[in-house]
Structure 1
Amino acid sequence: MPSPAANAPAPEASLHVLVLDDDPLLLDVMREMLAVCGVSNIALETQACSALQRLDQSMPDVVICDLMMPEMDGIEFLQAAAAQGYQGKVILMSALEDGVREAAGELARALGLQVVGSFRKPLEQNQLRAALAC
């Protein structure tokens, strides 16, 4: 007979994840990747202003954020999210150089944000799964 733990849903199943990227195709890919990880409560946004409004409505457990976006970039978004009191985890992704991503991660940590991953695009399934499990 299986143990109760064997029947328990994966911790990822209860996560609420917000993905912010200006590329709608990448958002579709991220939705599929999150679904494979067992996440079903997924919000997708192409604009930082809309993502900030979502933070006001319901705080996600994890925000996955691109760094390079028009109008408001990822750093500006993270500053605003920290100012709004966001307490969840942050996963950064960008096609920018490693040093830029690392600097962005340090800045986010200095703002009091909990950065659990910083990855080059395209994010790989195993990277996403590991970051969500942190």
Structure 2
Amino acid sequence: MAKILITDDSEFIRTIMKSILAEAGYTDVIEAKDGKDAISKYKAEKPDLVLLDIIMPDMDGVQFLEQIQPVSSKICMVSAVGQKDMIDRAKSLGAVDYITKPFEKEKVIETVKKLLS
């Protein structure tokens, strides 16, 4: 089973994402509260997929991507509408997809399945 790292400064968002993933059968899920926390968990856990918020305190999603080069996992940005420049920058650093907040359960599951297939 795939290992997934959810990185978001909102505990509410992490909880919702984890619940959606569990419903779809993904139970090996790690949570990180910000980019710095995510770096240590990324290096220790070596996830197959990272669901990565763009805007977070201390270290944002783009800074996280800059720190983990070369990228060895699939990275899916999770972004509010209107952050196109940051999404484009993230893609240039190895992100392969993005989910827009607020997200629908079906979109999360569809994107995760696509990226892990």
Aligned-residue identity in percent:
23
**Number of residues of Structure 1 aligned to a counterpart in Structure 2:** 114
**1:106: how far off?**
2.9
1:22 has 2:9 as partner: yes
Determine the C-alpha separation between the residues in 2 that align with 1:48 and 1:102. Answer: 16
Q: Report the TM-score when normalising by structure 1.
A: 0.77
Q: Residue in 2 aligned with 1:126? A: 106
Unpaired runs of 5+ in structure 2? Answer: none
CA–CA distance in structure 2, aligned partners of residues 103 and 86 of structure 1: 16
Cα distance change, pair 102–71 in 1 and its aligned pair in 2 (3 A) = closer
The residue matched to 2:68 in structure 1 has which SS? helix
Secondary structure at 1:92 match in 2:
strand
Task: Give the corresponding residue for 1:78.
Answer: 65
User: After the TM superposition, which residues 93-132 of structure 1 pair with which residues of structure 2 at under 5 Å, given as runs?
Assistant: 93-97=78-82, 99-100=84-85, 102-108=87-93, 113=94, 115=96, 117-132=97-112
- Amino acid paired to 1:62: L
Separation in structure 2 between the aligned mates of residue 102 and residue 55 of structure 1, nearest angstrom = 20
Give ranges in structure 1 of 5+ residues lacking alignment. Answer: 1-13
Change (3 A) 1:105 1:56: closer
**CA deviation after TM superposition for structure 1 residue 119, in Å:** 1.9
